[in-house]
Structure 1
């Protein structure tokens, strides 16, 4: 409810007019001219000025100051006389109806508040006085609530008789911002003012500005104007220094020695600031009645001022008390009342009459300003992007989940890692306890063997190779060829005999299988060819590969029913082959149960889950499975092509193995993969086993300077070799999803933008900061890959940070350009 009290001087009387609610009002009540009261005020003002010597104003013509021995006693007596006359005037019987109506309104306010949860109810009376002589009276000392005995607190706020500007609904979001203008400091010390304002730093960003010795006045005026009109907006404007009332101009502010600025001159800038969210102004300076009236007229919601000339120490004490209340999230009226009470009760002996000076001017019907509490909602709101940033962020997020883009970024990242390893001298990785050897049936081997149709591969030829590997003590062998369909009897018998001989020697054989179009698994061998079922002495390995990601285990599937990855079984065979325990299962045709069942049972008996034998990273993470549902590979380890191939595996053409050109070759303790070596028909479909050469591997092969290696393709057998190496060395690099890092970068980028806006930094420094931080993050991510086996994406997160931070840097540049133009 809005309650207004209008007090106006007529020819022979002062007229009181009370209005409230929806047009309700009392008849005007005339009182005699307060001649004695005005004389008491003038006497009080003389003694007040006589007691306080140094003022934040330059007031002249207030009468002759007579030196007396006890100026304090005179001031205390003058204050008592003034308040006595003032209260006696307001207790006139003619105002009884007015007081009763106010008491009734206070009771209504109390009853209404009783039905609602909220703060203690209060009734605010908006007071308008005319002329200024009536406005100078200490109306805040009228404790009408105590006189009436109301439960509801009755507060008095002033409002000017003229308000032309429409109310502006614009309010700022995010962290509170305070602009502090320190004016001419002649005879003043702003140290205490600065310290008091700094007490708000926990809840607000504060910017100080003001005159510095030697500064050009024109440049200062430009700086003040630009600061006030900052597009980021302000919540509170505070001026400290000398000020004065003026007959024209709406009040004057001394911003530098011999330089004053009127409110009318500042009006255009203040209107812009109001449109950007500025609601409240505090003038901790002298004689602020004209300032307050002008600013409310310009559209401000509240303005706090000191009506009289004020001593420097009193102004500082008031500011400390007022800002302390604001820091406690009190509204400006509560803070001003609290500050006045502190001056009256705690500082009255030191600063008599100082509690009579502060006043609050308000625009009726507008919410009282208080600092926003910066909780998680405000924090999230501050992170909200602009429209352009949101569109850009949406585009980056889309790129981060688009598989072709992910593949290209991963390709280039692994190449970067390879270059970083070489340049930083970190090419030497963990040596595998079981070297990996890939026996490759390449084009030369086919020609030398006279094989013109390599699909399906001649099984008699495979049998020869298996025998050679066995003779060279190879005890862990993987055959990367499907042998599921019977072909010529002689070839099937040859491969059956070779496998039988290897199994009889205790060789861990991993034979290829893959899922068919019907969702079934192909047999590893035509079982009719073997007297003992192959699963009892061999392992069925899924040969499906992804060129970029490691084949990992699915912990929710039964390994005795669903084949495990080909590379995993080879690494598992290598580990168990070296186990000396007699209880370790061994591949032999005499086994009565499938070999994989024996292996799982053995590991369980040892308290070791088969899924965690090498690393917990070698099995599906829950987020990985969830990612599959949306077509993503979240947290699935990548094949680390940044490691030089020579450190991962060695290759040997099949023809060299058969021609005994390497008699010193001993494959004991090796993991041997028998695979295609790059001929055109390799794969279930022609060429399917020849993959585009990763850029990182091309980098190593280029520096290897070996003309025999291909710079175009990598084979499926070599991909399996990389995976076996990673499992045996526990080197599994987990990529952090781009989408996750883009989300984190959005928060970091907005935080960077906010930090840039709060710091005094040039745009050049801003650019250098962004470039330096981006480069530093790049180096950090490269080293994290090497040291911690974590792949943190660089490009899209860095781009996201720039999307948020670059506009903030550009705004610094624009502000510098405006300053240069103003100084030109």
Structure 2
């Protein structure tokens, strides 16, 4: 894998140190870099030592009679021995490592080591405008001993992407080779090496004039600009000069317009196989050319030729640009008996906004990326296979009910995260409390929460205040009640058009008897209050419509909460219609559909082992995170409750006294201290409020994806995890990415449930993410060869 590290040495110098040094890290998976900071101490001895090294290096050139591609003046030369020069080289290497291994710089180095693998192809760029730092042999840092595929490059502080025009591929690498002044040196070997490139088309300009160079740069498309001959950098290091012939020299600024044109037309690489090219590189960098290769110092003929040969063989042979430069540079070490420090000379100057080019890209070969495409396809196939197997396994376990308990508990925990809501002003709960039972009960046969006479008085009192609808959640299952009711004052109250009474259907499995509705109340004013518990006992669903058994004493197909809500909404000119799978309310703002949970394949409710019965039209209950207005029967009868508290509202009458054991667990029970179940009357209030609020207030209805939607969601979570984690090369990154995706997934599912009401398959998808991420981590550990893929 290709990785990039850019060290920025901004304010500071070797005399005072660099108080802030930053390192930015990129790899092919991230759009934005990671950034680390440290500092470097003052190192004035490096400046002095390098200047001494330069003098001794120049002296060796003169003494040993090397033919170098620069004109060395006699006043620069002093007597020097090879052994003395070797000692200075060792001292320079020692001080460079001492400086870069300083404690203040280790924060950067240690964090980078956690992100880099030994087999990674790594570009290490030092950003600096200080000429001396650009000349330092950074490759001597022992950091590079651990990363054999890493190579150093230089960059200035300011750069921008080159503006390239599209160009048709020719199948050949177009090279403009300028063979300049060759007095005292041999550059014919350079020409021979370039001519030997089979997949290149090279135009040679031998000792050209400035006008010829300018014309060729303007009128033709080039991939590589090559120069061999004499060159030098001025003392200020800002400007470099090439010698075109024995009478004419040229600086880069003098070719600025022509070079900018060549770069815009596709020039990617400039190679100056000549002496002292740092100044040339600085000038070219200002033009934003992608890559440059220069020699730091005077270079002997044979060294220049050997480097060019090895670089062209490696680069044209398909090796990564930085790898080819490092290999060609390190091969020069074999020549250092005759040419000390030969391997120190070549250096890359890189525009950090561009990726290193390849020989195949320069050639425009459509087959160049076959290996890369194959690797990508192999990666895609691996991710798809892993994701599909994991997703299929998770979906199968879920189908068998393996995640039902965990999904229901996760649902409860998310619902409890909702903020407090306002009280629903459309409902009033009239509760029969323990105190009401003690104060208002009369001698009757069998248990009653409230006597018929008191219930009649309660209804009469409430009707005077003009409620919109009254629901009585009180069963009358006493043997002679139905015969006596017709003679009771309660009968007249129960027969009011806005009163809904309850009954309970016959259930051959759980309740073979059922409970009759009061005599004389028509079926259209009856509602059942059957509670449906999940396997853990918690009530999370409500039945809107249910077909009763043929022999049931309770024939109404409508629940009490639907009857109350529908009548309230009808008075608001909002009718409803029934379909086989939904109850739909039609308002001026559009329709509101309460879609049934599909039998056996809805969210956590699967039809496998231990499946939940989803008969009738069932929906999930969106409990209101607020208490309802509650008053006691005694409060109403004594006149404490005024007309405004009742007028136009839905009134629910029922028992909340714990002695009647009509309480059930809800998603909120476990967080109440002490543990507390909710009376059935209040659960009916929540169910009624949910319908009214959804229609009038656009409060979310909780719904689930269709079965195929759940499958796509789980498989998609696997696939996204696989695609991201597969591209992470280190073990820590893979694990960290997997955990991050799981956390993000939890956040998305939570947000969607709380804001849109959609209950996504959270637990199965998180398990899928962890398993798929773990599978790819296992591949990294079990197949070491994967680490070497780039």
Q: TM-score by structure 2 length?
A: 0.45
